[in-house]
Amino acid sequence: REYTDDQYDAELGRIDQKFTPLVKLCQEQGRAMRIGTNHGSLSDRIMNRFGDTPLGMVESALEFARIARAQGYHNFKFSMKSSNPKVMIECYRLLAARLAALGEDWNYPLHLGVTEAGEGEDGRIKSAIGIGSLLCDGIGDTIRVSLTEDSPNEIAVCRDLLAQIPLLANSSVPVPELPLSYDPFHYERRPTPEVELGLDGVRCGGSQLIRVVVTRATWEKVAPKIRPSDDVRPEAVYEDLNLLEVDPREDFTVPCDTQLVTVKDGLPLPAIAAFRLLAARLRRLGLRNPILLKDCLTLEPVPLAPNIALLRASVVIGSLLCDGIGDAILVRGEAGGGQSLRLAFNILQAAGCRSFKTDYVACPSCGRTLFNLQTVTARIKSRTAHLKGVKIAIMGCIVNGPGEMADADFGYVGGAPGKINLYVGKKAVKFNIPEGEAVERLVDLIREHGKWVEPDPVTA
């Protein structure tokens, strides 16, 4: 539906009437409020004017904030949630910039979260990318790591993540300031020429996939176990690369524009700042060379615990990838060979740069949830985890679930107690399926839409 200015204003007036009583109640009771918008569930009014965009999310939140402020109510904070870390980062950056432009009295706190992040390693990686990169830039006042797991698990991840931020963001030496190489409000991969990288003629840069590089030690551990059908495999060995390692604090020369470059190990700079500076320095020098990202510039004397290595690598590499920087990545903070390789691929998938396995969007569950999300998610994963490039949403209810399935290809949504609705994209196509059969009906649906492949009998 198209909205004229008058119709748009009339719609705002209607919202004012509905929302103001709640604002007054909060005011009387001394309660705080969160004004939150979610990517994928914006109103018709906002969609018409701004589209399903970060700008639409920000404008929607500001409209509600103006109503609250008109009542003299300021006890609120904002959230801008998306299951896609890139979208979420763009939204919060845009909101922070808009609030700063509106003036000091708009300095409301921001609550950060990647919604429907899922569970296990993938949920932690997605959350670390979205929340961690914003915190490293000084954006955010409260956080929630939203996992499809027992809720107390979220607290430990939040604490661990918060503990990493000063280590990843603070610099012991001044970091030179150069104009950014990227637009912080709009994702675009940094343009580079394509270059030969490593094993089996693998190339990187240009429109090539972002590649995974491993150390020789990791290569020696994992190479004997790789089977021809494996997607998770090293694509180059660090020690064999034709690589120029530089200090981005100073100008440097490169032999040609197809020379792969990275930041020199041992520099006293935080890795995110160092790689942003490298991209900015290259831009200032008029160079487009591809960049190898590293999760750390100095290896810890004692190997990091796997959960900490995962968070640090996700924040550092994930935030740079979301800035459009990086043509290949190297994870060294995780000491386990196979685990560091898998972590690198999982970061690329969570940042939306590669798809080597099924992507899941799963809600964290709440009082509305109509089935056991953890067991159902595990059941769906056990049947579908081999489907490369397919995105499946698992949502506990039809109240908010369909709106928050983002860009999932298929949806499994609680329709009523014991009954499931199945979706193709955002369209419900099967209704009230008994829960006991619903996973197999989902598989049938994926098959009908030509996205099913039989699992590899060796790994199944």
CA atoms of 19 and 65, how far apart (whole Å): 10
For the bound state, the minimum distance from the C-beta of residue 364 to ligand SF4, rounded and expressed in Å, comes to: 6
Size of the site for ligand SF4 (CB under 6 A): 13
- Please report how close the Cβ of residue 403 comes to ligand SF4 at its closest, in angstroms: 8
Residue 112 or residue 317: which is nearer to ligand SF4 going by CB? Answer: 112
Q: CB 71 → ligand SF4: shortest distance, Å?
A: 27
Considering only the stretches 25-33, 63-71, 364-372, 448-456, report the one whose residues sit in contact with ligand SF4 under the rule CB under 6 A: 364-372
Nearer to ligand SF4, 263 or 363 (CB): 363
Environment class of residue 150 by beta-carbon count within 10 Å: exposed (0-12), middle (13-18) or buried (19+)? exposed
Closer residue to ligand SF4 (CB): 83 or 133? 83
Among 85, 140, 248, 364, contact with ligand SF4 (rule: CB under 6 A): 364
Reference 189, options 313, 321, 380; nearest CA is 321
Angle of CA points 22, 25, 30, to nearest 5°: 125
Q: Does 401 bind ligand SF4 (CB under 6 A)?
A: yes
User: CA angle at residue 258 from 254 to 260, to 5 degrees?
Assistant: 70
Nearest to 15 by CA among 40, 46, 57: 46
Among 167, 399, 416, 460, binds ligand SF4 (CB under 6 A): 399
Find the binder of ligand SF4 among 10, 366, 378, 416 (CB under 6 A): 366
Our finding on whether 365 is near ligand SF4 (CB under 6 A) is yes
Residue nearest to ligand SF4 (CB): 396
Do 261 and 246 form a contact (C-beta atoms < 8 A)? yes
Report the alpha-carbon distance of residue 179 to residue 181 in Å, rounded.
6
Q: Would you say 32 or 399 has its CB closer to ligand SF4?
A: 399
Name residues contacting ligand SF4, limited to 272-301 (CB under 6 A): none
Segment near ligand SF4 (CB under 6 A); pick from 78-86, 318-326, 374-382, 399-407: 399-407
Q: Smallest distance from the beta carbon of 420 to ligand SF4, in angstroms?
A: 13
For the bound state, the minimum distance from the C-beta of residue 262 to ligand SF4, rounded and expressed in Å, comes to: 41
Would you say 96 or 408 has its CB closer to ligand SF4?
408
Q: Does 10 bind ligand SF4 (CB under 6 A)?
A: no
Instruction: Quote the CA–CA distance of 36 and 375 in Å, as a whole number.
Output: 29
Q: Is 396 in the site for ligand SF4 (CB under 6 A)?
A: yes
In whole angstroms, the minimum distance from the beta carbon of 74 to ligand SF4 comes to 27
Quick check: 79 binds ligand SF4 (CB under 6 A)? no
Contacts 24+ apart (CB under 8 A), 226-229: 227/458, 229/456, 229/458
53-58 — which CB contacts under 8 Å span 24+ positions? 54/80, 54/87, 54/90, 54/91, 54/94, 54/185, 55/94, 57/82, 57/91, 57/95, 58/91, 58/94, 58/95, 58/98
Q: What's the CA gap between 298 and 3, in Å, rounded?
A: 55
Among 16, 47, 400, 419, binds ligand SF4 (CB under 6 A): 400
Written as six digits, the tokens of 142 are 């409260």
CA 331 to CA 121: how far, in whole Å? 15
Residue-level length of the chain: 460
Q: Residue 455 and residue 26: Cα distance in Å, rounded?
A: 53
Integer Cα distance of 53 and 57 in angstroms: 6
**397 in contact with ligand SF4 (CB under 6 A):** yes
Say whether residue 84 binds ligand SF4 (CB under 6 A).
Answer: no
Q: According to the binding rule CB under 6 A, does residue 369 interact with ligand SF4?
A: yes
CB of 245 closer than 8 Å to CB of 262? yes
Output the smallest distance, CB 141 to ligand SF4, in A. Answer: 23
Q: Residue 337 is inside which H or E element, if any?
A: helix 337-350
Stretch that binds ligand SF4, among 248-256, 262-270, 312-320, 393-401 (CB under 6 A): 393-401
220 to each of 88, 188, 334, how far by Cα in Å?
38, 35, 16
Smaller CB separation from ligand SF4, 126 or 357? 126
Instruction: Tell me if 134 contacts ligand SF4 by CB under 6 A.
Output: no
Confirm or reject binding of residue 270 to ligand SF4 (CB under 6 A): no
Please give the residue ranges that form the binding site for ligand SF4 (CB under 6 A).
363-366, 368-369, 395-397, 399-401, 404
